[in-house]
Amino acid sequence: MSREPRVDAYIEKAQPFARPIIRKVRDRVHAIAPDIEEAMKWGHPTFCSGGKIVLGTAAFKAHAVINFWRGQELGFDTKDGAMGQLGKLTSVEDLPADLDAMIARAVELSSTPAARKTKHPPKPPVEMHPEFTAALARSPEAKATLASFPPSAQRDYLEWIAEAKQDATRQKRIADAINWLREGKRRHWRYENC
């Protein structure tokens, strides 16, 4: 069992109420996963397995917290506005009875690849303006070029044409789009080689 001296120093500097909380969590982590590594990350004691963060602890002026690194995947929600999933801890009695099981699940999960997070929901498809559809039908070369582009490049053209508020503006944009597509150009072709 390796103990990081900086974690010892952190515990000694913590508020008196927080010391037993962090010591207890530290002891339970080492009991459940003897090969766990200790580190100081973001100025707080952190426990890693195989180089991957499992959980961290932190002590503040009036409370302490435990933050499971992949807590959402474990089904933990943040409570009481605290940064940790177990809420604001003010004594050892605030630790959950199933803390050992939580730690064991977190250690086990750390050995599996993290689920990919979607940054945002996909955008709804943009409908092609009927006049642009007609113009593409008259120019198979432009239509083929547009179809060969990735969805984001197609979206650039479709949104640009749909955003036109006046018919004259839309007609000019459609004419420009058809010419650019015949030349194999994307909507923002001017900025591609900057």
Please tell me the predicted confidence (pLDDT) of residue 177: 95
Please tell me the predicted confidence (pLDDT) of residue 80: 56
- Amino acid occupying residue 128: M
Please tell me the predicted confidence (pLDDT) of residue 194: 47
Q: Angle between the 151-162 and 130-138 helix axes, to the nearest 10 degrees?
A: 120
Please tell me the predicted confidence (pLDDT) of residue 81: 57
- 113: which residues sit within 8 A by CB, 6+ positions away? none
CATH number given to 5-110: 3.90.1150.200
Is the whole model's pTM more than 0.95, yes or no?
no
**Cα(112)–Cα(83) distance, integer angstroms:** 24
Please tell me the predicted confidence (pLDDT) of residue 164: 93
Sequence spans of domains, the chain: 5-110, 130-188
Joined tokens for residue 162: 């749909």
Provide block-wise average pLDDT over 10 residues at a time, the chain (194 residues). Answer: 84 92 92 90 90 90 88 70 76 88 87 74 85 95 95 93 94 96 91 64
67: closest CA among 75, 77, 57, 59?
57
Please tell me the predicted confidence (pLDDT) of residue 79: 59
Please tell me the predicted confidence (pLDDT) of residue 85: 78
Q: How far is CA 40 from CA 7, 56, 112, 192, in A?
A: 7, 9, 23, 43
